[in-house]
């Protein structure tokens, strides 16, 4: 009975968490500074397991940080820099107020800056860690590099982003690391494999941005600050790993030095995979491309070079073109308009989707479907990996057949089949007519017989033995067993089971819906075709 009364909320999980405002007060930072610090240091709120306990009994929505994280922030040297900056702003204001221009100038020269090197090292102790987290950095840098100088961010940032992204693309070209490309309605997705890590990034289309008003560019700028530093270090390291001399702002012309890797014996599937990859790397070797001026030059040049193709464009579009349109050895001319004005005989005029589809299929696809003015086959996402039971578009099946080395079915055959079907239909109709006729005959006969007073023939057909399929029986039995066993499940497990089964069923339903839609579409197409043919 004795002893002190235990106070509530002084032990347990509540001691591990701290609310944002308290954390801010502890760090003595303003909200924007705290936000910047969190972004740079990678501190994020945690969701406690028992929110009400941590919230001291209240259910008000609050964000909680781990108290250890906040303590960790206390020792961050950058916090000091933030304070310096605050002081700097104050002094500058004062100098402006007093119109002391020399002081303003002096202060501006000594504007406090900070470096993020140590933070990068701390957040990503190993290089692989950094590579794993580079997706967002790339996306952001590619976005910022497309910004115009509209004052949404510093011009230097834009230039730095542009430089870093170009460097990154150079590396990918040099290392032949690109694996997949996908043209989406948002932009172009690229996936590269660098040191065993799959890195995906999204590049917006080359249009000027309609800057939204409800976006806080300060947050984006802080992220970009971090990401540019990260990307710079990563680029440096990657260039060194390829024995390339790292020069800032190198253009798209790097000498390639093939590093001779030691051959390790690998087995089975892995070996095949490796071979496949090697083959993919040399996909466009020996092909010469020419880009017309209306196609996205940067993307295509990047992609084609990644797979060993040569590429050039009109001199007036951009510097760096290596040969002219008139070059005889050009094999593929990429055009994105209904028809080309002058056509050379010894090259294919194709639409840009061909390049992307080839990369995703890992083989050089037949060019017939991609000629000018032809309705393009659908562009499929290479990131979707269909599992068993998932819906697979027929185009994917076709590509997979091509990958296996099977020849595509000729369309003529299909048409023939259609015609045959038509014939069959006709025959069936004929048959039906025949049947009707025969029935009528029978009836007439019977009438005749009746009129003659003869008794109708009554037949007794022998009953048939119901043949029971033992397999089916077994299956049914098993199904019933399962059903009965499900009845005996515990409530909790039943709930989980039902949920899983619901998900599965939904998947099947969706797949069925897609197939039905596809079928309807194909039928409509066929009907249209027939109509036009007639």
Partner 1 sequence: MEESSGNMRSSEPTAAMKKVREKTAKKRSKEEEEEEEEQIFNFKDKPAGKEEEDEDLSDSEESVFSGLEDSGSDSEEDEKESDDNDDDDDDDVTAVESKQPKQTEEEEEKEEVVGGVTEREEEEKKEDEYEHDSSDEEDIRNTVGNIPMEWYKDFPHIGYNLDGKKIFKPIRNKDELDDFLDKMENPDYWRTVHDKQTGSDIVLSDEQVELVNRLQKGQFGDVNFNEYQPSVEFFSSDVMIHPVTNRPADKRSFIPSLIEKEKVSKLVHAIKMGWIKPRRVEDDTRGRFYDLWAGEDSSILGRHKMHLPAPKIPLPGHQESYNPPPEYLFTEEELALWEQQDASDRKLPFVPVKFSSLRQVPAFSRFIHERFERCLDLYLCPRQRKMRVNVNPEDLIPKLPKPKDLQPFPTTQSLVYRGHSGLVRSISVSPSGQWLASGSDDGSVRFWEVCSSRCMKTVQVGGAVKSVAWNPNPSVCLLAVALESVVLILSPSLADRQVVQSSERLLSGQPEADTSDAAGPVIWSDTEGEELNQGIRLKIQHPKAVHQVAWHAKGDYLASVMPDHSSHLQVLIHQLSRRRSQNPFRKNKGLVQCVSFHPVRPYFFVATQRSVRIYNLVKQEMTKKLQANSKWISSMAVHPGGDHVICGSYDCRLSWFDLDLSTKPYKMLRHHKKAVRGAAYHRSYPLFASASDDGSVIVCHGTVYNDLMQNPLIVPVKVLRGHVITHDLGVLDVTFHPTQPWVFSSGADATIRLFT
Site for partner 1 in 242-301 (CB under 8 A): 246, 248, 294-296
Site for partner 1 in 349-368 (CB under 8 A): 351-353
Residue among 155, 489, 508, 527 that touches partner 1 (CB under 8 A): 489
Tokens of 252: 């798209």
Nearer to partner 1, 501 or 508 (CB): 501
Dump the DSSP string for 312-332.
EE-TTT-TT--S-TT-TT--E
Is the Cβ–Cβ distance between 41 and 123 less than 8 Å? yes
Q: Does 149 bind partner 1 (CB under 8 A)?
A: no
Q: Which string of x and - marks every residue 62-81 that binds partner 1 (by CB under 8 A)? A: -xx-x-xx--x---------
Min CB(266)–partner 1 separation in Å: 26
Q: Would you tell me how many other CB atoms lie within 10 Å of the CB of residue 258?
A: 9
- 303/172 Cα distance (integer angstroms): 9
Site for partner 1 in 405-434 (CB under 8 A): none
Residue among 25, 93, 149, 209 that touches partner 1 (CB under 8 A): 209
Q: Does 35 bind partner 1 (CB under 8 A)?
A: yes
Residue 355 backbone phi and psi in degrees, to 5: -60, -45
Q: Does 213 bind partner 1 (CB under 8 A)?
A: no
Residue among 92, 252, 363, 380 that touches partner 1 (CB under 8 A): 380
DSSP 15: G
- 176: Cβ–Cβ under 8 A, 6 or more apart, which residues? 281, 306, 307, 308
Q: Does 376 bind partner 1 (CB under 8 A)?
A: yes
Query: Residue-wise over 418-440: b if at least 16 C-beta within 10 A, else e?
Result: eeeeeeeeeeeeeeeeeeeeeee
Min CB(10)–partner 1 separation in Å: 22
Min CB(135)–partner 1 separation in Å: 6
Q: Does 53 bind partner 1 (CB under 8 A)?
A: no
Q: Does 83 bind partner 1 (CB under 8 A)?
A: no
- 460/457 Cα distance (integer angstroms): 10
Site for partner 1 in 454-483 (CB under 8 A): 477, 480-483
Per residue, the 3-state secondary structure of 82-125, as one string, reads: HHHHHHHHHHHHHHHHCCCHHHHHHHHHCCCCCCCHHHHHHHCC
Nearer to partner 1, 327 or 336 (CB): 336
Tokens of 375: 């309705």
Site for partner 1 in 127-146 (CB under 8 A): 127, 130, 132-133, 135-136, 139-140, 143
Nearer to partner 1, 9 or 236 (CB): 236
- For partner 1, which stretch binds (CB under 8 A), given 169-177, 439-447, 462-470, 512-520? 512-520
Is the Cβ–Cβ distance between 148 and 208 less than 8 Å? yes
Site for partner 1 in 292-331 (CB under 8 A): 294-296
Of 273, 255, 271, the C-alpha closest to 263 is 271
Q: Which string of x and - marks every residue 91-130 that binds partner 1 (by CB under 8 A)? A: ---------------x--xx--x---x--xxx-xxxx--x
């Amino acid at each position: 009975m004795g002893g002190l009364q235990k106070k509530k909320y002084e032990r347990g999980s509540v001691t591990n968490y701290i609310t944002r405002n308290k954390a801010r007060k502890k760090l003595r930072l303003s909200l924007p500074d705290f936000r910047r610090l969190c972004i740079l240091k990678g501190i994020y709120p945690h969701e406690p397991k028992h929110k009400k306990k941590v919230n001291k009994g209240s259910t008000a929505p609050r964000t909680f940080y781990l108290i250890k994280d906040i303590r960790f922030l206390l020792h961050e040297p950058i916090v000091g820099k933030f304070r310096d900056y605050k002081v700097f702003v104050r002094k500058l204001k004062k100098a402006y107020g007093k119109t002391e221009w020399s002081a303003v100038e002096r202060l501006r020269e000594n504007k406090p800056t900070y470096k993020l090197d140590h933070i990068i090292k701390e957040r990503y102790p190993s290089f692989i860690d950094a590579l794993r987290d580079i997706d967002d950095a790339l996306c952001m840098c590619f976005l910022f590099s497309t910004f115009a100088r509209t004052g949404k961010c510093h011009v230097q940032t834009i230039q730095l982003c542009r430089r870093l992204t170009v460097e990154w693309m150079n590396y990918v070209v040099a290392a032949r690391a690109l694996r997949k490309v996908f043209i989406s309605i948002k932009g172009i997705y690229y996936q590269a494999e660098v040191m065993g890590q799959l890195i995906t990034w999204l590049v917006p289309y080359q249009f000027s941005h309609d800057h939204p008003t409800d976006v806080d560019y300060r947050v984006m700028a802080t992220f970009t600050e971090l990401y540019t530093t990260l990307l710079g270090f990563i680029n440096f390291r990657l260039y060194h790993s390829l024995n390339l001399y790292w020069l800032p702002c190198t253009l798209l012309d790097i000498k390639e030095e093939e590093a001779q890797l030691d051959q390790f014996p690998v087995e089975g599937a892995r070996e095949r995979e490796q071979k496949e990859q090697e083959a993919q790397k040399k996909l466009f070797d020996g092909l010469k491309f020419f880009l017309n001026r209306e196609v996205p030059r940067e993307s295509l040049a990047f992609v084609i070079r990644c797979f060993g193709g040569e590429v050039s464009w009109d001199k007036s579009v951009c510097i760096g073109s290596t040969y002219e349109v008139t070059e005889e050895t050009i094999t593929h001319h990429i055009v994105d308009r209904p028809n080309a004005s002058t056509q050379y005989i010894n090259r294919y005029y194709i639409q840009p989707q061909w390049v992307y589809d080839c990369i995703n299929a890992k083989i050089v696809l037949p060019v017939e479907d991609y000629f000018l003015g032809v309705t393009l086959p659908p562009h499929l996402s290479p990131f979707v990996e269909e599992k068993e039971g998932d819906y697979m578009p027929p185009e994917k099946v076709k590509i997979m057949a091509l990958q296996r080395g099977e020849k595509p079915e000729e369309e003529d055959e299909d048409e023939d089949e259609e015609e045959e079907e038509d014939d069959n239909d006709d025959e069936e109709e004929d048959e039906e007519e025949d049947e009707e006729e025969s029935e009528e005959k029978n009836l007439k006969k019977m009438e005749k017989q009746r009129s003659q007073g003869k008794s109708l023939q009554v037949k007794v057909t022998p009953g048939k033995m119901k043949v029971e399929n033992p397999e089916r029986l077994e299956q049914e039995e098993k199904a019933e067993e399962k059903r009965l066993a499900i009845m005996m499940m515990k409530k909790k497990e039943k709930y989980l089971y039902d949920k899983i089964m619901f998900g599965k069923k939904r998947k099947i339903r969706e797949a069925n819906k897609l197939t039905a839609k596809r079928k309807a579409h194909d039928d409509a197409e066929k009907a249209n075709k027939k109509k036009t043919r007639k």
